[in-house]
Structure 1
């Protein structure tokens, strides 16, 4: 069975591979939880997204934080899913 640190590393590597060369500003770990049946690690990561808005001067952007939840098989380490976490 994967240790929690390994599950977090897998999630971090996975998100960075998906976004390729695009920087993920302020990527951070938010939550980690083992499913009730012990089969999956659920790892929540977040990063900052800068979105231009009409209300800000040129060159500025609104900063929001996006949250992604990764479901990782606790035995194989395979990422089963990535979902958007909304509050």
Structure 2
């Protein structure tokens, strides 16, 4: 069985592998929770997304934070899903 530190590391490595073409800005850990039945770790990570906007005259970008929840099998350490979390 994997512990909480391993679950966070797995989620971190997984998201990094999905976005190989660019660095993930300001990646941070938000929440970690084990499911009630003890079968899964749910790890929430967030990162900054810069979106161009017509309202900024200097070509800057609006900054928003996106949240992803990773469901990781507590026995095998395999990522079962990644979902968008709305805050």
TM-score range, shorter chain: over 0.9
Q: C-alpha displacement at 1:21, in angstroms?
A: 2.7
Runs of 4+ off more than 6 Å:
none
Q: Is 1:57 paired with 2:57?
A: yes
2-side partners of 1:57 and 1:23: how far apart?
26
TM-score normalised by length of structure 1: 0.97
Structure 1: any 5+ residue segments left out of the alignment?
Answer: none
Q: C-alpha displacement at 1:58, in angstroms?
A: 3.9
SS at match of 1:5: helix
Q: C-alpha displacement at 1:23, in angstroms?
A: 1.0
1:6-25 matched pairs, under 5 angstroms? 6-25=6-25
Q: Is 1:36 paired with 2:33?
A: no
> Over aligned residue pairs, what C-alpha RMSD do you find?
0.7
TM-score normalised by length of structure 2: 0.97
SS at match of 2:86: coil
Residue in 2 that maps onto 1:47: 47
SS at match of 2:75: coil
Cα deviation 1:5-55 (Å, max 9, x = unaligned): 000000000000000131111000000000000000000000000000010
